[in-house]
Chain A
Amino acid sequence: MAVQSKNLTRSGRSAVRSKGTSDVSLGDRLVRWLALLGAAFPLVAVVFIVAVLLINAFPSILFNGWGFLYHQSWAFGNFYGNATVTRNGVTAPAGASYGALPFIGGTLLSSVIAFLVGVPIAIGAALMLAEKTPGPLRRQLSFFLELLAGIPSVIYGLWGLIVLGPFLSKSVYPVLSKLGGIIPWLGGPVGSGQGLLTAGLVLAVMIIPIVATTTRDLLAQVPTLPREGALALGLTSWESVRYVSLPWVRSGIVGAAILGWVRALGETMAVLIVSGNGANALPANIYGPVSTIAAAIVALLDSAESDPTRLAVSALAEAGLILMGITLVTNILARFLVRRVSVTNLPIGRGI
């Protein structure tokens, strides 16, 4: 009786659901169908998005081949001359050449910086908030974190451009660049404060609220008894956090961190504003201008529209497809990872 056991696992619904279908009224069936339509919407939307991107990217995939992934050039060619080139049956203006490596690299590098800087800070702040902050202050700071999570990304970009970038390029980057002798990519000119490191740091500020609020909520679920037990055994409060609380919620924190990373991958406006828009090469050092796939789509679509062969629009669709692929793979990996770990670690039953 497979059906029976399924119903037992969600015992709440069994009584209602196991009712025969014959006496279900028309209105009942209508509600059910409407609800199914709503529930199917995300599936339809995902399939629609992938299909549209694939169809539109197809000419670009034929024209550029694998070179799209590792060439460092993005040229629309000459829109106004009559000269064209044809490759694999796809016609493009003379001089057109598309390589998305600078965008792909910029996307990965900026989000990795955001991850490396943002996640430890977020976890530390959540620990401090959950363990060492007195009640009233904790409520206010928590409200503040939620506010932060809601601030539109253009405002982060605005702040990165006007405040953070100039501050860093004047006061922090010159010091950092003295380390250039030891770590080469830290040396060299620091520029105006618009570039890879600034973009990564703004992204870090943006993902911190997500990771920190999730971690704080997870920590609140750790039961008191094991923690008190750790203290009774003579562990210090840090050791109790290190050996009891954090392992207890580890998979949840991994999930939150990956969620933050995915958000950094797809973030558009803030990066567009503070990255310095380096379209045609990977940055020479960590301060250099970059661009990401998401920012490039916004920045380049206007001029891509004037390509009479429409290959430029297709190339941007291929870039979007790659971005979508990266985020989907990350999401699926995260689910796999979190579910595997969570079997032993997540507190399913809350009462001990």
Chain B
Amino acid sequence: MRRQHAVDIFMWVLCGIALALVILPAVDIILDVLIHSAGSWSLGLLTTTTFGEGGGLLNAWTGTLVLMFLLFLLAAPIGVLGGIYLAEYSSLRGARILRFASEMLAGVPSIVVGYVIYLVFVIVFGWSFSVLAGVLALTIMVTPYIMKSTEAALNQVPSNLREGGSALGLSHSLTIRRILLPIALPGILNGLVVAEAIGMGETAPLIYTAGWSNSLPTLQLIHQPIGYLTYAVWTYINQPSAQAHQLAYSAAALLLIFLLLLIGLSRWVGTRASRYTSRFQV
């Protein structure tokens, strides 16, 4: 009996140490980024573009926003429609195959996606480093996540609501649009926010597709590279000068702030949307 309790205490102490080992590096990462970047916080950081190993990050943070916006335009319809198909239209076997492909795509390493887009669109199609090539690479990466969350959200809608729609004589697409989608909205939006966070944090698929630019983003979709924050972190931490390191840390701090905003957005949208959809709950 005493041995049992000794084991009990020993194992829980180990688990406690494990939790500490998870929390400590995390706190250290965040503090490290904040402390190292603190010296360079100024309005100029946000309002001037990068030149040489100094300047600001205007081109990078606006570029990141442009990439995220275009990613939303391209990936959200594909992913949500795909999720609707899997949940509402597909036969069981068809859904199994498509879902399997989607899981495989989610497992493809991001650099492989970037390399393929580079080989085909940047080189063969002659787009050179361009916004569209970068957005295409990101779309391939995040679509499986949007599809999966959309399908899961639709599957959680009580089945009698579908039958109710059918009993009212609504067509299937109208049932989906007017009854099922509003109820599934929180889950779908959450998947979209996750996808945007992935798109914001990726570097590898963008280096050889979107390239990098020291000037502001333009409206041109091809033949024109674009700057983004993750590239600034990677490239300036590899430069020896202290000034470059400052810039890398500033970009990292901006990324953390964007991430916090996205998480906040997802919580806000989640509570708003669930209050809205609670009217539909049976």
Interface residues of A (CB under 8 A from B): 6, 9-13, 15-17, 19, 24-25, 27-28, 31-32, 34-43, 45-46, 48-49, 52-53, 56, 120-125, 127-129, 132-133, 141, 143-148, 150-159, 161-164, 205, 208-209, 212, 236-239, 242, 262, 265-269, 272-273, 294, 297-298, 301, 313, 316-317, 320, 323-324, 327-328, 330-331, 335
Contact = CB atoms under 8 A, between A and B. Distances in A.
A125 B32 contact: no
B172 A24 contact: yes
Q: Which of B85, B88, B118, B255 has the most CB of A within 10 A?
A: B85
Contacts of B38: none
A324 B108 contact: yes
Contacts, number: 285
B219 interface: no
Q: Is the interface of A mostly helix, strand, loop or mixed?
A: helix
26 contacts: A16-B163, A31-B176, A32-B85, A38-B77, A39-B81, A39-B147, A41-B143, A42-B104, A42-B147, A46-B104, A49-B140, A128-B12, A128-B15, A132-B15, A133-B19, A147-B259, A150-B263, A151-B256, A156-B29, A159-B28, A163-B28, A269-B203, A294-B109, A298-B111, A324-B112, A331-B107
B81 A37 contact: yes
B237 interface: yes
A12 B159 contact: yes
Contact of B7 (A123, A212, A238): A238
A16 B172 contact: yes
A130 to B, nearest CB: 10
Contacts of A144: 23, 26
Using C-beta atoms within 8 Å of the partner chain, give the interface range for chain B: 35 or more
Interface of B: 4-5, 7-8, 11-12, 14-19, 21-23, 25-26, 28-29, 32-33, 36, 77-86, 88-92, 97-98, 100-105, 107-113, 115-116, 118-120, 140, 143-144, 147, 157-160, 162-163, 165-167, 171-173, 175-176, 197, 200-204, 207-208, 230, 233-234, 237-238, 245, 248-249, 252, 255-256, 259-260, 262-263
Q: Which of B4, B15, B159 has the most CB of A within 10 A?
A: B15
A90 B102 CA distance: 36
A43 B106 CA distance: 11
B18 A124 contact: yes
B89 A35 contact: yes
Contacts of B159: 11-13
A344 B71 CA distance: 41
Contact of B8 (A24, A145, A238, A269): A238
Given A6-B92, A41-B143, A205-B25, A153 B201 contact: yes
